[in-house]
């Protein structure tokens, strides 16, 4: 029903629910006073006192419950009626029915049963309680993750075995002035461990302090070193006959080399890149 509003100074007042607002309310009126008092109890509270309202369909007041976004009806304890007491036979039948219900909902995993009627909703008949179901779900996720790691591990080992039977690849590694900077050191290693190329490179730029702390290469050390174009013939010689370049972080090294070759107008041979970082991370888990 609509509120029956009257303006009181700068506020709106409903003569039915007795509530006040600074702006016109958007929610409908409950049709009862919104109030709280020691003698106003919910139906459940009356039940615990072995009382019942004279007419459950005619509450005496209410309050708004924010958690459920709904009104809770209240009844006047002073006019409530006493509940009829169960006979011993009725009590025994109810207790027997509760034992049957508990057995029906006994968790097949932890063997717990509901301790009160409201807890039944946390169980599944002939199945698991909410806690065991949650554990089972987590275990299933963990099993799936472990299976995926094992599969990835097998793929990583197969990748490594396939690579070791080939000779048309080499390992390439770079050090840079910063995460998006120029090359300050370049190394190429053959599958049999031979060093095909290792050289400090003059980036013609300053080395960032954070990068220097990692690779320990100083500006003074690269000052008299050859530039990338000067060692380019040696790099091409080292890569001759190689179709695949393997790097720890292939994305980083390939982008770094591409930027520096473009900077000097150089052309890198047509090769594929493969990364060790993802493969190594997988192998660590198995």
What is the value of pTM for the model shown?
A: 0.49
Do 92 and 65 fall into the same domain? no
CATH value at residue 183 = 3.30.420.10
Find how far residue 242's CA is from the centre of its chain. Answer: 42
Q: What pLDDT score does 68 carry? A: 76
pLDDT tens, 14-44?
888 888 888 878 778 888 998 888 999 999 8
**Domain span holding position 204:** 166-285
Whether residue 281 has pLDDT greater than 60:
no
160 occurs within a structural domain: no
Do 33 and 98 fall into the same domain? no
């Amino acid at each position: 029903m609509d509120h029956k509003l009257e303006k009181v100074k700068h506020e709106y007042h409903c003569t039915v629910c007795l509530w006040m607002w600074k702006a016109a309310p958007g929610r409908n009126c409950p049709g009862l006073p919104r109030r709280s008092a020691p003698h106003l109890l919910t139906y459940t509270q009356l039940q615990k006192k072995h009382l019942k309202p004279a007419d459950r369909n005619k509450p005496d007041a209410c309050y708004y419950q924010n958690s459920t976004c709904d009104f809770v009806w209240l009844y006047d304890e002073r006019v409530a009626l006493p509940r009829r007491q169960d006979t011993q036979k009725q009590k025994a039948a109810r207790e027997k029915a509760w034992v049957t219900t508990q057995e029906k909902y006994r968790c097949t995993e932890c063997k717990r049963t509901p301790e009160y009627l409201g807890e039944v909703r946390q169980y599944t008949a002939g199945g698991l309680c909410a806690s065991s179901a949650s554990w089972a779900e987590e275990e299933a996720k963990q099993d799936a993750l472990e299976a995926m790691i094992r599969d990835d591990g097998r793929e990583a080992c197969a990748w490594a075995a396939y690579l070791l039977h080939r000779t048309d690849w080499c390992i390439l590694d770079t050090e840079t002035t910063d995460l998006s900077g120029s090359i300050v050191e370049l190394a190429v290693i053959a599958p049999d461990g031979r060093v095909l190329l290792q050289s400090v490179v003059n980036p013609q730029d300053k080395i960032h302090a954070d990068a220097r702390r990692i690779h320990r290469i100083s500006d003074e050390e690269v000052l008299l070193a050859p530039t990338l174009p000067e060692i380019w013939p040696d790099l091409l010689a080292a890569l001759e006959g190689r179709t695949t370049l393997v790097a720890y972080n292939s994305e980083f090294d390939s982008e770094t080399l591409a930027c520096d070759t473009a900077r000097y107008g150089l052309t890198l041979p047509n090769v594929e890149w493969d990364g060790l970082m993802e493969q190594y991370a997988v192998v660590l888990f198995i």
